[in-house]
């Protein structure tokens, strides 16, 4: 994780700390935040995301490495961890559901691309990050293993599985309502930096359409994907098969 991103997290966490803990708050720094992130990763490694936080530091049931990296100070930081100015948020209402994390998320997205040269083949797809906590844009997708969570569209390197760019689905726009041609719009957002590079991009039938394929080809990337047989641009000679999708 880049230092500039940690600096933003540290800045707003240190603003929120005194609000919650008053005079008992001790400012965090980059070194401590790095240890905090290390513990977050370890919680995932040990598959302990549903465990009680205090149990992780238990002498009987916990993991010794947790105490070696950081004391129970972890819980204090977790309580006030912020990615933006919480005081400003309390004073205003904003329709941007991602606002509390937008600055950090956009920095993270940029960090993913910095210094990484993707292979010639990329994949665009939808992923569901399993999550059942409170979130204004949590979705329910019964076909996914986790069913509940945060829907993220990603473009990743087909050879290494390295995620190169992400976009979070935050629900319907409160003003515009249901979005039309969402697949094409999302696809365009994700691959914009790949124009004139000669990459090949693979996707599923949520994204694929003839208009998108032609537009993409004019900007040098090529497209491989399944396409829904009810797409109006397809001739009947290609849609008389029994399957719901086909290779284009």
User: What pLDDT sits at residue 84?
Assistant: 92
User: What pLDDT sits at residue 93?
Assistant: 62
Helix ranges, the chain (H): 3-21, 30-45, 53-56, 64-69, 73-80, 86-91, 99-113, 182-191, 210-218, 236-239
In the chain, ranges of CATH 3.90.350.10 domains? 116-225
Provide the b/e sequence for 41-52 (b: ≥16 CB within 10 Å). Answer: eebeeeebeeee
User: What pLDDT sits at residue 160?
Assistant: 97
Q: Are strands 139-140 and 200-203 parallel, antiparallel or unpaired?
A: unpaired
One digit per residue, pLDDT tens: the chain, 248 residues?
789 999 999 999 999 999 999 889 999 999 999 999 999 998 888 887 777 888 888 888 778 888 889 888 999 999 999 999 888 766 666 778 898 999 999 999 999 999 899 999 999 999 999 998 899 999 999 998 889 999 999 999 999 999 999 999 998 877 777 788 899 999 999 999 998 888 999 999 999 888 888 888 888 888 999 888 888 777 777 777 666 555 55
CATH of range 116-225; options 3.30.70.260, 1.10.760.10, 3.40.50.1100, 3.90.350.10: 3.90.350.10
């Amino acid at each position: 994780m880049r230092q500039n991103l940690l600096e933003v997290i540290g800045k707003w966490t240190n603003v929120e700390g005194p609000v919650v803990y008053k005079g008992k708050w001790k400012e965090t720094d980059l070194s401590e935040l790095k240890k905090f992130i290390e513990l977050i990763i370890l919680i995932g490694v040990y598959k302990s995301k549903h465990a009680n936080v205090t149990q992780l530091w238990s002498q009987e049931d916990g993991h010794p490495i947790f105490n070696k990296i950081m004391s129970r100070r972890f819980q204090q930081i977790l309580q006030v961890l912020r990615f933006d100015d919480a005081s400003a948020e309390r004073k205003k209402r904003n329709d941007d559901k991602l606002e509390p994390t937008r600055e950090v998320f956009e920095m993270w997205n940029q960090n993913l691309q910095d210094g990484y040269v993707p292979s010639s083949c990329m994949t665009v797809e939808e992923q569901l990050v399993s999550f059942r906590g409170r979130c204004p844009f949590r979705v329910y997708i019964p076909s996914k293993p986790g069913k509940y969570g945060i829907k993220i569209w990603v473009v990743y390197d087909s050879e290494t599985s390295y995620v190169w760019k992400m976009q979070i689905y935050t629900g319907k726009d409160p003003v515009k309502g249901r979005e039309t041609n969402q697949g094409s719009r999302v696809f365009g957002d994700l691959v914009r930096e790949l124009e004139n590079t000669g990459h090949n991009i693979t996707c599923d039938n949520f994204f694929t359409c003839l208009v998108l394929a032609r537009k993409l080809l004019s900007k040098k990337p090529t497209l491989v994907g399944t396409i829904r047989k009810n797409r109006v641009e397809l001739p009947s000679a290609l849609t008389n098969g029994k399957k719901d999708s086909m290779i284009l």
